[in-house]
A and B are shown apart, each in its own frame.
Chain A
Amino acid sequence: MRTVTVVGASLSGLYAARELRAQGFDGRLVVVGDEPHRPYDRPPLSKDYLTGAPDEDPPDLTDDEEFSALDAEWILGVRAAGLDPPGRTVLLADGREVRTDGVVVATGASARGLPMPGGRLAGVHTLRTLDDARALRAELTSGPRRVVVGGGFIGSETASSCARLGHGVTVVEAAPLPLVAQLGPEMAAVCAGLHRRGGVELITGTGVAGLRGTGAGAVDGVELADGRLLPAEVVVVGIGAAPNTGWLAGSTLALRDGVLCDDGCVTALPEVVAVGDVARVGGTRAEHWTSATEQPRTAIRNLLAGHTAERLRPLPYFWSDQYGARIQFAGHRLPGDTVRVAEGTLTDGAPDATGFLALYEREGRTAAVLSIDRPRPFTRVRRELACAAGAVGAESTVRADAS
């Protein structure tokens, strides 16, 4: 394999490039990214970056030293437009073509917008990219009222950041509780308590009917399905993300809410692997930071081997910082799991300052763990779960000082 092209220059794309070099690939390495920026870390965008100084540097994932040591051709600010496997070519939106022997699909996902009138009014934001975060941050100085549509991770963290800046915030969540799909009703109720504790109004169980604009084309309110109208100068829409697979239409790769691949990240074509938010690995598409950093090691091993030599058995892990509380979750939760608070206490459904640790139990065994501000016991249970599951993927080939 003489040329490998990594399509996507965010977290999983960078990790794929690192793994290629760490695993001995010394051929031509091309990295294509649709954003003009070098790889940066997205999690801070809804947290500290949003509340930080206007001239704050983006949360870079790499530095000059590593950038040159990777010895890659970076094509940034250009979208990939197509993949032609028989021709071994990646087509770029500016008309260029990259001839390549192997391809890593790492194109991530795009924030979903509100599919309704008013979705494109000025003052309506999504938050996924650095440019999104900069645009939102610049507007957070205007007017006092914010509405966040969607009580998931992005929505909750953004609401928390706005509250920290002193704004009045209302979160609208269509489900009965925020994060209920991810955490189950017991712990989702705790998250609802965090919103309340943070002084944010939480409206659940109702959807958004439309956005109301001023004559000048700026948003000034959110109309709910139940008829209520919430005035707002800034609306942040956090209703999930769609995998960026459009450029792969017609490539013969199987696409179904992501690029289908086996549990070694290998697609139907052995010279094409997929990682990160765009990849449906062994039937699951996980939009988790840790998945994006763990999958490339296995994917690159299999790409260089030419077949699925290694398989991932990940233990899902994610975290969220909201209202001064750090939520960490690991494991496989199923509806019906019994949730038991094993350390700390909840008062009126809300944790105190010392946090708590909760175990999701099934048939007498721990299946998942959630903690708020209890990182040590959380790590212990997470490691036990990973051990019990024979989880593979936590170790990277790349050493921090490899450059």
Chain B
Amino acid sequence: MIPVCRLDDLPAGESVRVDTAPPIAVFNADGELYAIDDTCTHQDASLSEGWLEGCLVECPLHAASFDLRAGRPTCLPARRAVRTHRVTVEDGVIHVHMAAEEGSAA
């Protein structure tokens, strides 16, 4: 369980990158919190820097789009899912529960 930041510090529409290995991106999508692997499965780009619209994040490099709920790509050029991670809020602090290294990719 990795503390990320205070919930107050991640308002709706914002995202933050967590320097885990591999890095994780945490999003506040209109009040719902999601965490996915930060690196686009197509090429090296940080999804935490992507364009957030509803439950979709668009990669800032080649516009591949991922559904934050399951990690699945919704358009090319990405073809593989990113892993999703469970998010909880405890005492006003966002925590990420890293999925196991294997078997959790959607």
- Residues in chain A within 8 A of chain B (CB atoms): 15, 18, 41, 43-44, 48, 59, 61-63, 66, 289-290, 293, 319, 326, 328, 375-376, 378-380, 383, 394-396, 398-401
Check if A398 sits within 8 Å of B63, measured CB to CB: no
Range, interface on chain B: 20 to 34
* Contact (Cβ within 8 A) B74 A376: no
In this complex, what residue of A is CB-closest to B52? Answer: A376
Q: Would you give the 0/1 interface string for B32-66, flagging 1 where the beta carbon is closer than 8 Å to chain A? A: 00000000000111100111000000101111100
Which of B58, B61, B76 is in CB contact (< 8 Å) with A396?
A: B76
Is B62 touching A289 in the complex (CB atoms < 8 A)? yes
A290 touches B61 (CB 8 A): no
Say if the beta carbon of B25 comes within 8 Å of chain A.
Answer: no
Known contacts A375-B61, A379-B51, A379-B58; is A399 also within 8 Å of B75 by CB?
Answer: yes
Known: A375-B45, A378-B60. A293 touches B77 (CB 8 A): yes
Q: How far is B51's CA from A379's CA once the two chains are assembled, in angstroms?
A: 7
B30 to chain A, nearest CB (A): 18
Check if B72 sits within 8 Å of A379, measured CB to CB: no
Question: How many Å lie between the Cα of A38 and that of B98 in the bound state?
Answer: 35
Cα A48 to Cα B79 in complex, Å, equals 20
In the complex, the answer to whether A379 meets B50 with C-beta atoms within 8 Å is: yes
Q: How far is the CB of A101 from chain B (nearest CB, A)?
A: 26
The residues of A that contact B44 with a CB separation of less than 8 Å are 48
CB proximity of A59 to chain B, nearest CB, Å = 8
Closest A residue to B79 using CB positions: A400
Closest A residue by C-beta to B61: A319
Which of B51, B62, B73 is close to A401, meaning CB atoms less than 8 Å apart? B73
Chain B's closest residue to A62 (CB) is B79
Chain A hits for B64, CB < 8 A: 400
**Residue ID in chain A nearest B46 by CB atoms:** A375
CB distance from B75 to the nearest CB of A (A): 5
Which of chain A's residues have a CB closer than 8 A to the CB of B79?
62-63, 66, 400
In-complex Cβ contact of B51 among A319, A326, A383, A398 (8 A): A383
Is B78 among interface residues, defined by CB-CB distance under 8 A?
yes
Docked CA distance A258–B42 (Å)? 29
Measured in the bound complex, the distance between the Cα atoms of B62 and A44 in whole Å is: 13
- Can you give 11 contacting A-B residue pairs, CB < 8 Å? A41-B43, A43-B43, A59-B43, A319-B61, A375-B61, A376-B49, A376-B60, A379-B51, A395-B75, A400-B76, A400-B78
- Contact, CB under 8 Å: A400 / B49: no
Chain B interface residues toward A at CB < 8 A: 43-46, 49-51, 58, 60-64, 72-79
Smallest CB–CB gap between A61 and chain B, Å? 8
Contact A398–B61 (Cβ < 8 Å): no
CB pair A375–B49 under 8 Å, yes or no, is yes
Extra inter-chain contacts (16) besides given A63-B79, A379-B50, CB under 8 Å: A15-B76, A18-B76, A43-B43, A44-B43, A61-B77, A289-B62, A380-B51, A383-B51, A394-B63, A398-B76, A399-B74, A399-B75, A400-B72, A400-B74, A400-B75, A401-B73
Contacts of B43 in A (CB 8 A): 41, 43-44, 59
Question: In the assembled complex, which residues on chain B have CB atoms less than 8 Å from the CB atom of A400?
Answer: 64, 72-76, 78-79
Residues of A within 8 A of B72 (CB): 400-401
Question: Smallest distance from the beta carbon of A216 to chain B beta carbons, Å?
Answer: 40
Interchain CA distance A130-B61 in the complex, whole Å: 22
Instruction: Give the residues in chain A near B51, CB-CB below 8 Å.
Output: 376, 379-380, 383
Looking at the assembled complex, report how far the CB atom of B85 sits from the nearest CB atom of chain A, in whole angstroms: 21
Min distance, Cβ A329 to any Cβ of chain B, angstroms = 13
- In the complex the two chains form, what is the Cα distance from A400 to B65 in whole Å? 9
Task: Write the nearest CB–CB distance from B24 to chain A, whole angstroms.
Answer: 17
CB–CB A293/B61 < 8 A:
no
Which residues of chain A have C-beta atoms less than 8 A from B74's C-beta?
A: 399-401
Report chain B residues within 8 Å CB of A399: 74-75
Do B46 and A398 have beta carbons less than 8 Å apart? no
Q: How many Å from the CB of B57 to the closest CB on chain A?
A: 11
Docked CA distance A326–B62 (Å): 13
Complex Cα–Cα for A326 and B63 (A): 15
Which A residues are in CB contact (< 8 Å) with B78?
Answer: 400
A51 to B74 alpha-carbon distance, docked (Å): 31
Cα–Cα, bound, A319→B61 (Å): 8
Complex CA distance for A379 and B52, rounded to whole angstroms: 11
**Interface hub of B43, B50, B72 (most chain A Cβ within 10 A):** B43
Across the two chains, which residue of chain B brings its CB closest to A319? B61
Chain B residues within an 8 Å CB radius of A376:
49, 51, 60
